[in-house]
Amino acid sequence: MKLAVVGTGYVGLVTGVCLADTGNDVHCVDIDRAKLEKLKRGESTIFEPGLADLLAYNLAAKRLTFTDDIAAAVRHADVIFVAVGTPPSDDGSADLSQVEATCRAIAQHAPGPRIVVTKSTVPVGTGAWAEKLMAGLSKHKLTVLSNPEFLKEGSAVDDFQRPDRIVIGSEDPAASAVMKELYEPFVRNKRPILIVRRAASEMIKYAANCYLATRISFINQMAELCGRTSVDIDEVRVGIGYDERIGFQFLYPGIGYGGSCFPKDIPAMIAVGREAGVEMSILDAVHKLNQRLPTILLEDAKSYFKGSLSGRTFAVWGVAFKPRTDDIREAPAIKIIDGLLAAGATVRVHDPKALPHARAKYGSRIQCLDDGYAALDRADGLFICTEWNEFRSPDFARIRSSLKQPVIFDGRNVFSGELMRRHNFDYYSIGRPPILRA
């Protein structure tokens, strides 16, 4: 099938590469020429396990083309995916200006009927609006479908190739059949392709993200309460997780969620509710709690150092918002780093993949080190903000000898209290009593 994907960000790039890998002829469009040149050379512009190999393989097979010529891509394709950004506006609602510009370009250049698929996360009603917009600009039938993505950064390739479900929002049976044909290679394990109304598909994406963010915030608020009442959140989490109605997924306490989805989708859903006259009080609480969570670890540090962090040096392990990605957008680590800098501290940062983005954001305001142990040298303490696997079994003797005082502020509960006692660390974590040496 001949396809176009407009936007080569996280969603667009994964979508284009994975669809090319099943034999489709895919043209990926972007306005960033520097990014396009890298992609043409087979250099992935994001870190995502497995993506670089698929990119190189499908480029070599000539099934994948990168271009800034949207007109040519629209003429080439039977199905056009819209995967451009929908950043938050000042009021929290989704900014659809990139979606609108893309739809206008499609309408202008389409030489005949086309299926246009919104892959971007968009508010309910966007598909109907986009279809009406293009109908006024083109004499051809441009059918808009919704096909939300459910990709997790760090496992996006596997999620695309082995989805737990595919959702297609459509008012057109013929267009739905085309999409089912396109996705059948990915559901040979008998996972469902759900055909729903277009508005329902748009709502499904937001509802899924909002529910997952709510689970994260629930356990984080329980952790905050446990921390104030000398209860261990791990014991509570295990006690409720074995309830089959609850389970353990997304039930791990920490300093909050980040990334490109939850932090913008929660305010966007609140805005949708506001426009519909529904007070989204639960989501408002989720958003406010997540904004505040990193400050809890900073307050622990201020308490430990008698109220002031000024003049001290801290190592921060982990800048990415989660492991297996280089994405630092809305990462809790950013709030930790900003808080330390505002308090007058010197910050040394290590991350296995995200250091280029940290350098671009902070410049000379922080030190970015490829060696995590080098970041510890004569530092006053260590903050852990991302639960990379390589942080789970470090050389504790080396950590202890490098730090001025053996104190760890763990925002992801990477270590157990028993382990910290055995290695004689002062240790602060989320929702568990602090470990303090005698």
Catalytic residues, by residue number, are 261
The first and second tokens of residue 245, run together, are 């109605």
Distance between CA atoms of 31 and 54, rounded to whole angstroms? 22
Q: Which residue has the tokens 């199905």?
A: 79
The residue type of 274 is: R
Q: How far apart are CA 280 and CA 167, in angstroms?
A: 25
Q: Can you tell me the distance from the alpha carbon of 323 to that of 205, in angstroms, rounded to the nearest whole number?
A: 23
**363-371 — which CB contacts under 8 Å span 24+ positions?**
365/341, 366/337, 366/341
Look up residue 193 and give its two tokens: 């392709």
